[in-house]
Chain A
Amino acid sequence: MTDFTIVLRSLSLRRFSTTVTVTMVAVSVALLLVLLAMRDAGRAAFRRGTGNAHLLVSADTSPLVAVLNGMFYANAPSQPIDWAAYMKIREAFPWSWTIPTQLGDSFRGSPVMATSKEFFTSFEPVLGQPWSFVAGKAFEAPYEAVVGAEAARLHGLRVGSELVLAHGVGTASGEAAHEHEDHPVEVVGILAPTGSAHDRAIFTSLETGWCVHAEESRLKEAGAANPGEDDHGHLHVDPEDLRDSEKLITGILLRVPTRPGEQVSSALPVAFDLLRRQFPFTVAQPAQQVGRLFEIVSGVDTLFIAMAVAVMVAGALSVMLALYNSMDLRRRQVAILRVLGASQGRVFGLVLAESAIIGLLGSGLGIALAAIFGTVASAELQRRVGLVIDPTMDLRTIVLCTAAATFLACAAGIVPALRAYRTAVVQGLRPLG
């Protein structure tokens, strides 16, 4: 028989109260852990995806909107950039690389980005991690597409699948988007997951996007009467026939030269200024804009943490209440232990140990709950938003939360323990009733 046995026996004797209290602590710990993990993982997921691009040029009016649209596929950019402007920007500075992008089409709700081949060779979606293909290869000819990991999973696409692209982003039900039915696009490559927003997208060559739009607009111009029709009775435009006015893009990703292995360059401010002075477009530094986004939401973030801490304190108060209320039930137990020779200090310690065990049990259960919830929530987030969130919690957070919960539970146990300490033995021994 040890003090520990007595404590465990006391806890199991008041099984209901113990269960409720442990659950309360567990829920608080789980909530705090999930909030912390989600916050960190959410940030990491957003930091990814801007990849190794230094600058983004867009005709959107604000840099933040430009980045959200151009790199996170929030909406189709509203204003185009013409090809001539792209060529001028390309020549304006000794870039490491320049990648034109055009957004605006979609496939069953997934964004379609038309871009150049350099997107797969030069651009890294995550710093230090170039693209890799789980199947197939990058597009080479018009009407070929490469599909991001999440988009492939969502639509069940594989190499050889045919897609009918829709103009406009529309809704998932396909209401607003107009489908370019006559020209299916063939999937030639499936990308490995990157944990960035790019996983949700489908990529084609710029020519594919341009031809599809040119056909549509020329049909409108000419009406149904004018020939130049193909076998199916529709107008066909080859990449060579494209007019310059039809070569429109919506964004340009840029990287200035850096020393090997480095990400920053003193050339960046120069290039930034130059673009701002000479071109009527919005120039954004993606990494900086993501930082701004976090600043904007940091107030909400603090609020969440404050709420989690409040829940934790409420958990501690419930431990105190549970132990305090049970003091009436065990006044007798304390009195008997005192008669049998237990000192006041020892009884104090026994009650305190009870709350510590509740704190530890609650933390353990809370960590398990958080792990389960984190896994479910990250799967759900990935399915719905395409955000890849790593649900594993880091050890430091776990240890800190466990320590905090146990400390709070002990602190909550002090009041009941003091009451046990002061309990008049003689009163506890009287027959009940």
Chain B
Amino acid sequence: MNALSITGLELARSGGFRLSVPSLSLAQGEQALLVAPSGGGKSTLLHLIAGLEDPDAGSITVADMPISALRGAARDGFRGASIGMVFQTFNLLHGFSAIENLMVAMMFSSVPAATHDARARALLAELGIDRPEQAVETMSVGQQQRVAVARALACRPTLVLADEPTASLDPANAATAIGLLQRACRDHGAALLCTSHDPSLRAHFSRVIDLGTAEAAR
């Protein structure tokens, strides 16, 4: 089973934007950095993989499930259960505590409700959040990022998509943060596809996919 396989993906938008990914796959637990010039479609590709947007042509399969063929609630449910997402601005739910952010994520998955609390606490502790009841908007940027990573892993996803996860951090913290993300994904057996415009991150990944070249294909 591959964590991700893409074949013949095509998307064109008005204004001349074109995204073309003939073939791309990620093995289970594999980690890769996705690079492209600004406006090159990195975020769009992540959204397509997560099923938040639809391609014009081609197929996207996550954990052997063709997400591009799923519709409506089935697709939303599949995304919640199999894909974790980490954003540049974290996109945590404000007004909710750290642990509640994880609980909301698990609420939409098939993880048994009785295990939610324990799992959320364990994940947060593992990622160094010692006050799980704290409201996320009162946390430091570094802590918020840890909560975001924990939330992405809460439902035991096959694939974690990270969209510029270090863009709001300074270089030293960025290195720590990417290390944390990579280790957490490895520990939980999730594949990681990470986008960044920061060349210094290349050193952290054994595989770099450049959307601007044919090397994307494999």
Contact = CB atoms under 8 A, between A and B. Distances in A.
Q: Contact size class for A?
A: 20 to 34
Interface in A345-384: 345-346
Nearest to A6: B104
Interface string B140-158: 0000000000010001000
Given A335-B91, A341-B79, A429-B87, A1 B104 contact: yes
A340 B104 contact: yes
Interface in B82-98: 85, 87-89, 91-96
B76 A344 contact: yes
Interface in B25-76: 47, 50, 52-53, 72-73, 76
Contacts of B121: none
Nearest to B103: A1
Contacts of A338: 52, 76
Given A425-B52, A431-B89, A341 B94 contact: no
A338 B73 CA distance: 10
A10 B104 CA distance: 13
A336 interface: yes
A432 B87 CA distance: 12
B94 to A, nearest CB: 7
Contacts of A3: 107
A336 B50 CA distance: 13
Contacts of B96: 9
B88 A337 contact: no
Given A340-B105, A429-B87, A9 B95 contact: yes
Contact of B53 (A13, A332, A346, A426): A426
A2 B93 CA distance: 15
Nearest to A341: B80
Interface string B167-202: 000000000000000000000000000000000000
B205 interface: no
A426 B109 CA distance: 21
Given A13-B95, A342-B108, A426-B53, A432 B77 contact: no
B89 A341 contact: no
A343 interface: yes
Interface string A1-26: 11101100110110000000000000
Contacts of A6: 104
Contacts of A333: 93-94
A194 B3 CA distance: 84
A341 B76 CA distance: 5
B72 A344 contact: yes
Given A1-B116, A332-B91, A341 B81 contact: yes
24 contacts: A1-B103, A6-B104, A9-B96, A333-B94, A336-B91, A336-B93, A337-B93, A337-B104, A339-B79, A340-B151, A341-B77, A341-B78, A341-B80, A341-B155, A343-B72, A343-B73, A343-B76, A344-B72, A344-B73, A346-B73, A346-B108, A426-B47, A431-B89, A432-B89
Give the 10 A-B residue pairs with the shortest CB-CB distance, closest first. A341-B80, A341-B108, A343-B73, A1-B103, A13-B95, A343-B76, A431-B89, A340-B105, A425-B52, A1-B107
Given A13-B95, A341-B108, 10 more contacts: A1-B100, A333-B93, A337-B93, A340-B104, A340-B105, A340-B108, A340-B151, A342-B80, A345-B73, A431-B89
